[in-house]
Amino acid sequence: MIYVHIPFCRSRCIYCGFYSNTVAPGSAFADEVCAEAVRRKEEIAASSAINTLYIGGGTPSVLPLADLGRIADACGGRNYSEWTVEVNPDDVTPPYARGLRELGVNRVSMGVQSLDDGILRWMNRRHSAGGARRAFRHLREAGFDNISVDIILGINGLSLEMLRATVQEIVSWRPEHISAYALSVDDGSRLGALCREGKYSEIDGDDHYALVCSALAAAGYEHYEVSNWALPGRRAVHNSAYWTRAPYVGLGPAAHSLLAGDIRCWNSNDISGWREKGREALTDKEIWEEKVMLGLRTADGAPQQLLPGNSGLLVPSAIPGNLRIPEDRWFVADGIISGILSQG
């Protein structure tokens, strides 16, 4: 199970506080990722029970296709049960979509975020609603039968009617997977600066979340994690493994890893030549906290024996012996989980 961080974007979204760079990546960057994969081949082999490769960012679709192929080869080949590449709609031309398929990519995650052009401009996204529609069509025509679409809710200025129109149209596309994230304000983002200047005010967004939950349930999507929905049998294999704490190797600047033996490590963010920045063995308490926190973000829940006696807000899940947070309380899941962890 491998994650590759491609920290390049042609422009920075208003809400983004992640580590990224707007300079164009050169072939030397792919060379460095490949070299890191070779150095860490034993760690990669130890995480191979989950046979997935996820290339995220940033915007991986700014890399040439040949570099994506070289990176996959350095990681161990191109025959993954799930190989995901994140793309920006603006980058998805018919030749590019076909090229991804020819590499062996079998899943694409596309950041649509909204189908309202005004909201997209406010976000500083570089695609339009029409561009997102064309990109999805190009991916389908190239043969992709596993596409995930991201949307953002909880934006001050995004009306229920605007959000409903976006959700209804995306449902009509019938992507196999939909992720819907509540807008969060990161101190390092442009949005964070606007909040400090009094030019933007956060909203709670619970009505937005309720709308998405209702619309996707009616359309036959399974709500299997707080922010993720899938058609039956189409859960994201890679992301689902994170939530069960499967070992994974993170390659690239600022990437994190969870290695066999409960070792956490992370890279520096030096684009020109990153190295491992830190490594620690997780304590029993930290492991317990992660199991509870990650499990309770999912429909499968967490094993009852891990949970303190006072877990009255939880209900049985479909997994025997597991308890979960009811879907109608998922929007406040963080508070519920914090309360449970405080009892441990």
Cis peptide before 344 (omega within 30 of 0): no
Q: Are residues 29 and 178 in the same domain?
A: yes
Q: Is the pLDDT of residue 10 over 80?
A: no
Q: Are residues 222 and 331 in the same domain?
A: no
For residue 97, tell me if it sits in a domain.
yes
Domain that holds residue 104: 2-242
pLDDT digits (tens, 9 = 90+) for 61-93: 889 999 999 999 999 999 999 999 999 999 999
275 touches 35 (CB < 8 A)? no
Q: Report pTM.
A: 0.94
Q: Extract the tokens encoding 53.
A: 């490769």
For residues 101-114, average pLDDT = 97
Q: Are residues 47 and 167 in the same domain?
A: yes
Q: Extract the tokens encoding 68.
A: 């994506």
pLDDT of residue 31: 94
For residue 164, tell me if it sits in a domain.
yes
Confidence band (pLDDT; 50, 70, 90) for 108? very high
C-alpha 228: how far from its chain's center?
Answer: 9
What total of structural domains would you count in the chain? 2
Q: Is the pLDDT of residue 22 over 60?
A: no
Confidence band (pLDDT; 50, 70, 90) for 132? very high
Sheet holding 315-316, edge to edge: 302-303, 322-324, 315-316
Q: Are residues 10 and 142 in the same domain?
A: yes
For residue 254, tell me if it sits in a domain.
no
pLDDT digits (tens, 9 = 90+) for 195-238: 889 988 888 889 999 999 999 999 999 999 999 999 999 999 99
For residues 292-316, average pLDDT = 90
